[in-house]
Amino acid sequence: MRATVMYGAHDVRVEDVPDAQLIEPTDALVRVTRACICGSDLWPYNAMAPSAIGNRMGHEFIGVVESIGADVGNVKKGDLVVAPFAWSDGTCEFCRQGLQTSCLHGGWWGGTTLDGGQGEAVRVPQADGTLVALPVGPDHALMPSLLTLSDVMGTGHHAALRANVRPGKIAAVVGDGAVGLCGVIAARRLGAEQIIMLGRHADRIALAQRFGATDVVSERGDAAIERVRELTGGLGAHSVLECVGHGESMRTAVSIARAGGAVGRVGVPQETTIPNAQPTFYANITIAGGPAPVRAYMHELLPDVMEGRNEPGLVFDRTTSIDGVPDGYRANEREAIKVMIQF
* Residue 142 binds a second copy (CB under 8 A): no
- 206 binds a second copy per the rule CB under 8 A: no
Tell me whether residue 135 or residue 282 sits nearer to a second copy (CB atom). 282
Residue 332 binding a second copy, by CB under 8 A: no
Beta bridge mates, 286: 262
**Degrees (nearest 5) of the Cα angle 128, 185, 193?**
135
Mention every residue, 6+ apart, whose C-beta is less than 8 A from residue 145. Answer: 153, 305, 310, 311, 312, 313, 314
Per CB under 8 A, the list member of 69, 84, 90, 291 interacting with a second copy is 291
Distance set, CA 329 to CA 67, 100, 127 (Å): 31, 28, 28
Question: What is the pattern of x (binds a second copy, CB under 8 A) and - over residues 219-238?
Answer: ----------------x---
Looking at the Cβ atoms of 83 and 266, the one nearer to a second copy is: 266
Q: Which of 214, 276, 319, 342 binds a second copy (CB under 8 A)?
A: 276
Binder to a second copy among 73, 260, 303, 308 (CB under 8 A)?
260
**Minimum CB distance to a second copy smaller for 113 or for 278:** 278
Among positions 160-189, residues that touch a second copy (CB under 8 A) are: 162
Applying CB under 8 A, which part among 22-30, 31-39, 198-206, 277-285 lies near a second copy?
277-285
Total residues contacting a second copy by CB under 8 A comes to: 36
Sign of CA dihedral 211, 265, 204, 305: negative
Q: CA 157 to CA 209: how far, in whole Å?
A: 17
Please answer whether residues 150 and 85 qualify as being in contact, where contact means their C-beta atoms are separated by less than 8 angstroms.
yes
Q: Work out which of 15, 71, 222, 271 binds a second copy, going by CB under 8 A.
A: 271
Q: Which of 285, 296, 298, 336 binds a second copy (CB under 8 A)?
A: 285
| E strand or H helix that includes residue 186 | helix 178-189
- Is residue 139 a contact partner of residue 83, using CB atoms and an 8 Å limit? no
Quote the least distance from Cβ 264 to a second copy, whole Å.
Answer: 10
Residues 101 and 290: beta-carbon distance below 8 Å: yes
In the complex, least distance from residue 272 CB atom to a second copy, rounded to whole angstroms: 6
* Distance, CA of 66 to CA of 142 (rounded, Å): 22
If phi > 0 it is left, if psi is from -120 to 50 it is alpha, else beta; for residue 7 that is alpha
Per CB under 8 A, contacts with a second copy among 98-117 are 99, 101-102
